[in-house]
Amino acid sequence: MVLLGIEAAAKVAGAALYADGHIIAEHRLEGTLTHSETLMPMMDAVLKEAGRGPEALTYIALTTGPGSFTGLRIGAATAKGLALGLGIPLIPLSTLEVLAYGAGSSITSMVCVPIMDARRGQVYAAAYHNRQQILEPQAIAAQELAEQLKALHQPCLFMGDAAELYRPLFQKALLDDYHLAPSHLRELRAGASAALAAEKVEKGQAVLVKGSELTLTYLRKPQAEREREAALHAH
């Protein structure tokens, strides 16, 4: 299995190559350039550094949401084009599951809570315990999520770009049950996407789709569409 993982759902873009049972190359970048400018060069770089050509790939994995509307579309368009050109399947992954996996959901006994900033006091969130999903992916007010987690009465480990942003709120709600993942495990990484997808393939749990069949999971409508609907209702 030679699997390319790409990441464009949040601020950090990345590409990683999985082969021979582990990640053999990975690039990640958070900067001023857009994902459309950085993603393809990073994909080319990890293949070149690993001494592989695109024709060696057997799968392409990517997160399909929730996340940045623009980033998700860039990642999807890039993955679709490559998969269709090579005639190989895509493995779509939940952004939230990848965040939890990358922070160690496979080894910690705590409830893993991936949260991404959805703005206006909301987050995209889910919760996993022993790799099992116990809270469905949702767009939810941060305060409401805090109440849901408090009711679990279990230690919670937070990761994602909203983990630091809403740290005071969750600390106040959960007290000693609040834990923050280390910074290097808190962000989305293409390496986590690739490793999780490879694990799913090996266990026969991977969902394989053609490039033309790929769909994205936004959890809520784009802001421009919400504002347009609000304006229509106001008249």
Count the neighbouring beta carbons within 10 Å of the beta carbon of residue 172. Answer: 10
Write down the pLDDT at residue 228. 55
Write down the pLDDT at residue 83. 97
| Phi, psi angle pair for 60, to nearest 5° | -130, 125
Per-residue pLDDT tens over the stretch 112-166: 999 999 999 999 999 999 999 999 999 999 999 999 999 999 999 999 999 999 9
| Phi, psi angle pair for 21, to nearest 5° | 85, 5
Per-residue pLDDT tens over the stretch 21-49: 999 999 999 887 789 999 999 999 999 99
Do residues 139 and 66 touch, judged by C-beta distance below 8 A? yes
User: What is the maximum span of the chain, computed from C-alpha positions, in angstroms?
Assistant: 60
Average pLDDT, the chain: 93
**Distance (Å, rounded) from C-alpha 27 to C-alpha 15?**
5
Q: What is the mean pLDDT of residues 45-74?
A: 96
Assigned architecture for domain 103-186: 2-Layer Sandwich (3.30)
Exposed (0-12), middle (13-18) or buried (19+): which is 115, by Cβ within 10 Å? buried
pTM of the model: 0.92
Domains of the chain by residue range: 2-95+188-230, 103-186
Sign of CA dihedral 77, 78, 83, 85: positive
**Distance (Å, rounded) from C-alpha 129 to C-alpha 110?**
7
Which residue stretches of the chain are H helix?
Answer: 35-49, 69-86, 95-102, 142-150, 167-174, 183-186, 190-202, 223-234
Asked if the domains 2-95+188-230 and 103-186 are classified in one and the same CATH topology, the answer is yes
What is the homologous superfamily of the domain 2-95+188-230 according to CATH?
ATPase, nucleotide binding domain (3.30.420.40)
Task: Using a pLDDT cut of 70, give the percent of the chain over it.
Answer: 94
